[in-house]
Structure 1
Amino acid sequence: MVFPIAKAYTQAMRLFYALTFDEQTLSRLSSIQDSLVPLLEKGRKSAKHNLHLTLSFLGNQEPRLLPLFKEIVAALPNTPINLQFSHLGRFTKSGGDVIWLGIQRNVELLHLQSMLVEHLIKSRVPISDTSFAAHVTLFRNARIAELPSFSPFSCTSQAIRLMLSHQVENVLVYTPLASNFLLEN
């Protein structure tokens, strides 16, 4: 699904860096979401095209910093990372929990995220989320009595992207502004 974005940005942009996945992995993640729907008392499903693993949340940033953020994406290694989705979890929130799919501890992923944070700090970009919990958000504002088990599976990440979070016709959209595709050597 492709959404239009403005050519010239004049206001602060809500940005984050993410690992994205191929269509097969997105379909697998979506199937897990579908299997949870009957168990939920309530919850808002993350759209399939928005499923990702956040590496660093930048928050609202000035458009003049876009070239710097794009340079940082390009400076990161472009080696694929094998990820093992191993467990479901939740972040407890008063209005409803965030239900997520967790990644088994992965040294390459931790190293990549650490390099990204180092680049941001060296570039004097203010960041507040230096703690990192590797996960893909499946539902927000959710209530579920108990998280079920599921069959772990592996995938290879597709790209590291600088993403813009914005609304298009009242739909939350994550639009890539820069990409570093992860390639086999």
Structure 2
Amino acid sequence: MSEKIRSFISIDITDQNLLDKIVGIQRSLLETGADLKTVEPENLHLTLRFLGEIPRSTLELVRGELKSLRFNRFKLNLYGLGAFPNLRRINVVWIGVREGKENLKEVAKKVEFMLKKLGFPPDPKGFSPHLTIARVRTGKNRDRLIDF
């Protein structure tokens, strides 16, 4: 039986100035007293498509196909905080995408098309451009995040 790996396709955040600003926001969120697990700076990314648990051989196939994807360089501007599933029941805290959102959606469409050719089913949730910065562990002081 082939080893399965939890996989996703993403764009890493590598700009140190941006990472420093995000870490500052994360610190402020922790100061609310909410029970949060912040995403480590080296793990911050914009997910284009979650793949789930897939065999290593399939992952290698996806990697190979990704190398053939082409798109023009574009600028992204991250702005504003939001929450999944909603503000009444916050499980995930994220930063939104303002400038470059349409470009990012185009890249996600190309990824989705490539995955369809490889036999992956369509993403049932669709693409929602965001950068996850924290996850709520328990309901402790969760309500304090609403006013953040």
Question: What TM-score comes out, normalization by structure 1 length?
Answer: 0.67
With over 3 angstroms needed to count, the CA separation of the structure-2 counterparts of 1:108 and 1:134, relative to structure 1, is: same
Match of 1:140? 135
Listed as ranges, the gaps of 5+ residues in structure 2 are: none
The answer to whether structure 1 residue 33 and structure 2 residue 26 are counterparts is yes
Match of 2:77? 84
> What is the CA RMSD across the aligned residues, in angstroms?
2.4
Match of 1:72? 65
Is the CA contact 1:56–1:129 (under 8 Å) kept in the aligned structure 2?
A: no
Match of 2:93? 99
CA deviations 1:32-87 (Å, max 9, x no partner) are 11122112421111111111110000001011213311122212225333111111
The answer to whether structure 1 residue 14 and structure 2 residue 9 are counterparts is no
Question: What TM-score comes out, normalization by structure 2 length?
Answer: 0.82
Displacement of 1:96: 5.5
Structure 1 outlier segments of 4+, above 3 Å: 92-96, 126-130
State the SS of the aligned residue for 2:77. Answer: strand
**Bigger mean CA offset, 12-21 vs 30-39:** 30-39
* Aligned mate of 2:106, from 89, 111, 116: 111
- Counterpart CA distance in 2 for 1:40 and 1:127 is 38
Is the CA contact 1:30–1:48 (under 8 Å) kept in the aligned structure 2?
A: yes
Number of equivalenced pairs: 140
Percent pairwise identity: 26
Is the CA contact 1:95–1:141 (under 8 Å) kept in the aligned structure 2?
A: no
Listed as ranges, the gaps of 5+ residues in structure 1 are: 1-9, 149-185
